[in-house]
Structures are given as structure tokens and as C-alpha cells.
């Protein structure tokens, strides 16, 4: 049988959980995730975990934060003035906004707090600083 190698396009079913057992994402009720292995389309630890697997094979892998979305960076939390938001928009804690960095890279901002007329925004990925566990099943190798 063929084993997954870098450059293969594959389809994988997965369920992702946090260390407390909370499921944060799953493809089980939808289509499997399709990606090219080693092309940087998924987090590094996920890419590495599927190498060597065969169609129909399942495994569980725990991916440390360094191989997932990286450590939480306090320097990516900053205050914004309400005037920086569109007129009539009143941000709520937990609300997310997408913007772009100067080079055009999309950036997701999450409202952390609103105090004294200042809005604290967090540009960290919501999964930054977390180890992630995935139950993986290779469905197809192209």
C-alpha cells in the first residue's frame, strides 16, 4: 500500500480537541479535509503527523503549541480607540474582525475587553498557546 509522503494531495477526517477534552473542530459531519502534504496549507504538526500513514489508517497525535499556532504573544494585544471602527459599529467582547497587515496578509482581531472607552484587541490566533490533539483518519491519497 501507498503511504502518505510530502507532495501528496490527501483527504483526512479529523477531530481536534484541547487538553481539557473540548472538541474545537471536526470534519466528521462534513467533507474530509483535503490538502497537499508539506505545502504549508495546515499547521506544521498536522502536516508531519500524516506522513507515513496509509488509506484507512487512524491515529491520535498531540501537537505542541510550537507545531500548531505558536505560543501566545502578549505583544499582539493592543488598545484601539473606538473612532478606529466604522461609524455605528459597537464592538462586543469576543467579537472578531478581519483586517489586513501592510503586506496584505489577513489578520483576525478578537475584542478582549472594553474599558474606559478603550477597546483591547488581540491579534493572536484563537488557538495560539494551546497544544492540540487530533484523531486522524486518512481517507484518500492522490
Asked if 69 is an active-site residue, the reply is: yes
Residues 6 or more apart from 91 whose CB is under 8 A from it? 82, 85, 97, 111, 114, 119
pLDDT band for position 85 (50/70/90)? confident
Counting residues of the chain whose pLDDT is more than 70, the rounded percentage is: 100
CA dist 83 and 77 (Å) reads 18
Asked if 134 is an active-site residue, the reply is: no
Summary mean pLDDT of the chain: 94
Query: Of the residues 43, 63, 119, 141, which is catalytic?
Result: 43
Query: Of the residues 10, 35, 46, 69, which is catalytic?
Result: 69
Domain boundaries of the chain, sorted by first residue: 9-70+127-141, 74-122
Residue 96 CA from chain centroid, whole number = 14
Q: What is the CATH number of domain 74-122?
A: 2.40.10.330
pLDDT at 107: 87
CB 56 within 8 A of CB 1: no
**Same fold for the pair 9-70+127-141 and 74-122:** no
Asked if 43 is an active-site residue, the reply is: yes
Mapped onto helix, strand or coil, the DSSP state of residue 48 is: helix
pLDDT band for position 50 (50/70/90)? very high
According to CATH, the topology of domain 9-70+127-141 is Chitinase A; domain 3 (3.10.50)
**Per-residue pLDDT averaged across 44-68, rounded?**
97
Asked if 24 is an active-site residue, the reply is: yes
As given in the structure block, the three cell numbers for residue 138 are: 486518512
Amino acid at each position: 500500500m501507498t503511504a502518505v509522503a510530502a507532495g501528496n494531495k490527501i483527504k483526512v477526517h479529523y477531530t481536534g480537541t484541547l487538553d481539557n477534552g473540548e472538541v474545537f473542530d471536526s470534519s466528521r459531519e462534513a467533507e474530509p479535509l483535503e490538502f497537499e502534504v508539506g505545502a504549508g496549507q495546515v499547521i506544521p504538526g498536522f502536516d508531519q503527523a500524516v506522513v507515513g500513514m496509509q488509506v484507512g489508517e487512524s491515529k491520535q497525535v498531540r501537537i505542541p503549541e510550537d507545531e500548531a499556532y505558536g505560543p501566545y504573544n502578549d505583544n499582539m494585544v493592543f488598545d484601539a480607540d473606538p473612532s478606529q471602527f466604522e461609524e455605528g459599529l459597537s464592538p462586543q467582547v469576543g467579537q472578531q474582525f478581519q483586517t489586513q497587515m501592510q503586506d496584505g496578509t489577513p489578520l483576525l482581531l478578537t475584542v478582549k475587553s472594553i474599558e474606559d472607552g478603550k477597546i483591547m484587541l488581540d491579534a493572536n490566533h484563537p488557538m495560539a498557546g494551546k497544544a492540540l490533539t487530533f484523531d486522524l483518519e486518512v481517507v484518500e491519497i492522490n
